[in-house]
Structure 1
Amino acid sequence: MPPLPDLAGLDLEAIARLAAERRLPPVEQWNPTRSGDSEMRIARDGRWYHQGGPIERPEMVRLFSTILRREPDGSHVLVTPAEKLAIEVEDAPFVAVELKSEGSGEARRLAFRLNTGELLVAGPDHALRFGEESDGPRPLLHVRKGLEALVARPVYYELVELALAEERDPPGLWSDGAFFPLSAA
C-alpha cells in the first residue's frame, strides 16, 4: 500500500480528489454462503484485535477496513466473494482522528482523516451528526453504507471551536454545501 499523504500539507481540493479516487471492493454485492467468526474485534478507540491481541500492522488494518460491511441487523462482517466473517465492533468501526478546515460559513469544507488513513470530506455523502450520551456528546461522521466514524474528542473540540466562531443560531458548521447543527436532532 502506498504511504499515507500528510493531511496538513494538502489543500481541500487535493483531499477531495484523493478521496474520490479511492476504489473500494464492492462488498455490498458479495453474498457468500460460507460464514463464520473472524475472531476479530474493533475496540471503541479504533484499535483492531485478532484473537485478543492487537493487530500491529497498519497496512493490515487498512486492508481489513476495505472489506468491512454493516449488515441490515446492525452487525458487522468482513466479507469477500468466498466468505463472510463476523467481527465485533464495540462502538463505531472507525475514528476520525484529524481535521482540516478551509473557508468559512457556507463556503467551508471539512476534511477528516480516519484512523485507517481514509480521507473524507464532510458533506451530503458524509454527514456529521451529533448525538448525546450519558458521558457527553457523541459526534459521528458517516463513512459509507451504514459505517460511521466516531469523531475523536480533540477533533470534536476543534469542530466546536469553529462553530462557535461562526456565531450561528443554532451552532453548527457548513461543509461541502451541507449544514450540520452541533446539537442532537
Structure 2
Amino acid sequence: MKPAPTHLWNPSFCGEMDLVIRKDGVWVHEGSPIRRKELISLFASILCIKDDGHYYLISPQEKIKVKVDQYPFLVTEMKVVGNNRKQTIFFTTNVGEQFEVKEHNLITIELDKPECVPFVHIRNGLNAGICRSVYYRLADLIVSKEEEFGVWSGGSFQTIRQS
C-alpha cells in the first residue's frame, strides 16, 4: 500500500493506542500479534514520526500515539540489479514496502549500541532496521571511495554513515 500523505494532515491528538511495533518487526495490539497483513499495511501507510520523537497513526481526522521498540520497519529482502558502479539496490520491508536505495535513503550503523544495528531511512523520518541476513549481503557490496565506505546504487555512491 502506498504511504498516505500524512505530512499534509494536522488532526487533533486523540490519545494512545495499545499498539507496539516490536524490534523483531511484529506488530502487537493489546498483547496479541496482528496477523492480518492488510491491516498492518494500512497502519504502516499512515505511520509517522513527529518532532517530539513519538510515533503516530495519522488520518485526516485523528492522531493516535503508538509505541515502537526500535524501528517501525525491517528490511527483510534485498535485490541487486547490475554490478559495481552500475548496480541498483532494492530493499523490501517486512510490511511489503519496496524501494530503490537512492541518495535520500541514508544507510547508518549505530556503533554506540551493543548490537551495532544498521538501518536505512525510508521516508519522512521513518527508518527500517536491516535484518542480519540482508546486512551480510549488503556488506559484500561495500567498497571504499575517498576514505569513505559505502555502496553504489542507482548511479551514485551511498556512504554508510556511523552514529
Q: Give the TM-score normalised by the residue count of structure 1.
A: 0.80
- Alignment correspondent of 1:19: none
Deviation of 1:141 after TM superposition, in Å, equals 1.1
Please state if 1:40 is matched with 2:8. Answer: no
Match of 2:58 in 1: 79
Aligned to 1:137: 116
Q: Does 1:151 align with 2:137?
A: no
In the comparison of the two structures, how many residue pairs are matched?
162
In the TM superposition, what are the counterparts of 1:24-173 in structure 2 within 5 Å?
24-163=3-142, 166=143, 170-173=148-151
Indicate the residue corresponding to 1:175 in structure 2.
153
Task: Tell me by how many angstroms 1:52 deviates.
Answer: 1.1
Q: What are structure 1's unaligned runs of at least 5 residues? A: 1-21
Q: Could you tell me which amino acid in structure 2 is paired with residue 174 of structure 1?
A: W
Between Structure 1 and Structure 2, the one with more strand by share is 2
Aligned to 2:162: 184
Per the normalisation by structure 2, the TM-score is 0.90
Q: Does the aligned pair in 2 maintain the 1:34–1:82 contact within 8 Å?
A: no
- Amino acid aligned to 1:99: M
The secondary structure found in structure 1 opposite 2:117 is strand
CA deviation vs aligned residue, 1:61-88 (integer Å, no higher than 9, x gap): 0110000011011110001111110000
Deviations 1:109-148 (A, max 9, x none): 1101100000011011322222213424221111110000
SS in 2 for 1:38: strand
Q: 1:137 to 1:182 in 2, by over 3 A?
A: farther
Unaligned runs of 5+ in 2: none
Root-mean-square deviation (CA), in Å? Answer: 1.8
Moved more, 122-131 or 65-74: 122-131
Change (3 A) 1:167 1:127: closer
Residues in 2 aligned to 1:182 and 1:136: alpha-carbon distance in whole angstroms: 17
| Structure 1 contact 76–86 (Cα < 8 Å) conserved | yes
CA distance in 2: counterparts of 1:44 and 1:86, whole angstroms: 17
Taking the aligned partners of 1:75 and 1:87, their CA distance within structure 2 comes to 8
Following superposition, the deviation at residue 149 of structure 1 comes to 0.4
